[in-house]
Amino acid sequence: MTDIAIDVRGLSKRYTIGTRRERHGTLRDSLAAAVRSIVRRDGKTARRSGQDFWALKDVSFQIGHEEIVGVIGRNGAGKSTLLKILSRITDPTTGEIDIEGRVGSLLEVGTGFHPELSGRENIFLNGAILGMSKREIHRRFEEIVAFAEIERFIDTPVKRYSSGMYVRLAFGVAAHLEPDILIVDEVLAVGDAAFQKKCLGKMSEVARHGRTILFVSHNMAAISALCSRSILLDKGAAVMDGPPSEVIAAYYLRLGEQCDDDSDLSKKARTGTHKAIFSSISVCASSKGKPVQVAETGCELRVDIFVEARDTLIESNVALTIYDATGYRLIDVNLNQKNEFLRLAPGETACVSFLIEELLLKPAMYTIGLWLGRDQIEETDHIERAAMLTIAPRTESQVHSVLFPGPYLCRFKSSISLVEPSLSQTSRALPLGSAS
């Protein structure tokens, strides 16, 4: 018995795409193609006319027992393919994997759930599909139902459940799997915030019980909180393997590099009267310095915006807005807040600069939007997606990593002081400390 739970050596996976023979072929077409290739004299067959797509290229790593490893990467990097191969759903093209221990795979919540069956029946079905024996399921049945909070509905068909109940039940079964090695694929992305909190709590509990966990997630907060180690996949290759904070920073750096250089605003989608237009934008991560695509949490962000006037501009406001990936407005700074206005004559160009002293956004991708005009009176130029900004975690401090979703941090102070019980109080238990 070694210390290694999963040993991957030279793993590659090739898919052949775009062949003349369709993926879901018909027997008739295949027979016709076979006849054609016999008749043809040049010896070429229609088979390998497709392109090879390597989903994984020569990936190697080792995971020891009781390690918790997070795999991150862009969509299409090969993460799900890696998990599928480790779960024996698909075969590798080359390479070898040695696994020691019982594997439980969670590639999807609710695998095998049938809408016509009741919650109780689906627990047994799903549990059996995931590899639990009937005895195990019986033993854990009460816990599963309690975790999912569906005691009242356990005997109604699952098709009547709300999506929240469905997902709680599905995860409830999966959470009570007891394999030696747990392989999880982005299942934490479902459900509301309360549910995600519960899932992450359960995952860390499972981790504390000494299981080996390998999981894929886009939730960087979860990765840095749960994992002792992280692997970055990019276009099928394992490009980095190390402490989560470093790997996550590398991930964001690569993301930022892949964005187009978009300082030129002349071609952006815009609305407004266009009496004046935004011509270019430059984003720097400090008050002096080169324009960047990636900045750190808590950095000083300087944005220089160039405005060209075609017509006279009177008493106009320039606003800089930062949106998150879902288009939700997070930060809004504009000249009017500082009692400043932009006035330009036709043909003049101005540079409007904003200096955000401490940008307390959490690591993610954000969009910068620009607005020029007179509040309530006129919209002169409005570009919703002027530039992209990627925020990476601050490498020195781990203070900002928390389990819960949400984009914004805040500066705050806290203190603890003892409170004297007064004689007029009734027999209420008083807290020992209070934040002020």
Partner 1 sequence: MASILDLAVRPSRRKLRIRPKQGWQPIDFREVWHYRELLWILAVRDIQVRYKQTVLGVMWALIQPFFQMVVFTLLFAKNGFSTDGVVAPVFYFSGLLPWLLFAGSLSAAGNSLINNQHLITKVYFPRLIIPTAAVITGLIDFAISFAFLIVLMAWYHVSPTRGALLLPIFILFALLCALAVGLWLSALNVRYRDVRYIIGFLVQFWFFITPVIYPSSIVTSHWKRALLGVNPMSGVVEGFRWSLYGRPTPGPMAAVSVVTILALFVGGLFYFRRIEKTFADVV
Question: Where do contacts with partner 1 occur on this chain (CB under 8 A)?
Answer: 1, 3, 15, 23-28, 30, 66, 84-103, 105, 107-108, 111-112, 114, 116-117, 121, 124-125, 128-131, 133-134, 157, 180
Angle between helix 119-130 and 163-175 (nearest 10): 40
Nearer to partner 1, 45 or 93 (CB): 93
d(CA 78, CA 373): 46
Of 91 and 261, which has the nearer Cβ to partner 1?
A: 91
The contacts found for 414-417 with CB under 8 angstroms, 24 or more apart, are none
Residue 143: which region, alpha, beta or left (left: phi > 0; alpha: psi -120 to 50)? alpha
Minimum distance from residue 180 beta carbon to partner 1 (Å): 6
Least distance CB 101 / partner 1 (angstroms): 4
Report which DSSP code applies to 430.
P
Query: Quick one: 24 or 288, whose CB is closer to partner 1?
Result: 24
Name residue 184's beta-bridge partners: 106, 215
Burial (Cβ within 10 Å: 0-12, 13-18, ≥19) of residue 333: middle
Q: Which is nearer to partner 1, 85 or 207 (CB)?
A: 85
Smallest gap from Cβ 115 to partner 1, in A, equals 9
Q: How far are the Cα atoms of 68, 78, 196 from residue 190, in angstroms, in the given order? A: 21, 21, 7
- State which residue, 120 or 385, has the beta carbon closest to partner 1: 120
CA distance readout (Å), 103 to 67, 128, 181, 182, 212: 14, 14, 5, 6, 9
User: Given the complex with partner 1, which of 23 and 267 has the nearer CB atom?
Assistant: 23
* Closer CB to partner 1, 116 or 420, in the complex: 116
Question: Cβ of residue 402: shortest distance to partner 1, in angstroms?
Answer: 29
Q: How far apart are the first and last CA of the chain?
A: 55
Other CB atoms within a 10 A radius of the CB of residue 421 amount to 11
Indicate the SS3 state at residue 31.
helix
Nearer to partner 1, 8 or 203 (CB): 8
Beta-bridge mates of residue 154: none
Q: CB-wise, 172 or 298, nearer to partner 1?
A: 172
Nearest CA-CA partner of 155 in 170, 147, 145: 145
Q: How far is the CB of 133 from partner 1 (least distance, A)?
A: 6
DSSP letters spanning 402-416? -SS--SB--------
Contacts of 283 (CB under 8 A, 6+ apart): 291, 292, 293, 295, 301, 302, 303, 368, 387, 389
**Three-class DSSP category at 133:** coil
Shortest Å, Cβ 430 to partner 1:
44
CB of 267 to partner 1, least distance (A): 41
Instruction: Name which of 134 and 343 has its Cβ closer to partner 1.
Output: 134
Closest CB 436 distance from partner 1, rounded Å: 44
**Rounded least distance, CB 4 to partner 1, Å:** 11
Q: How far is the CB of 138 from partner 1 (least distance, A)?
A: 12
CA distance linking residue 178 with residue 183, whole number of Å: 12
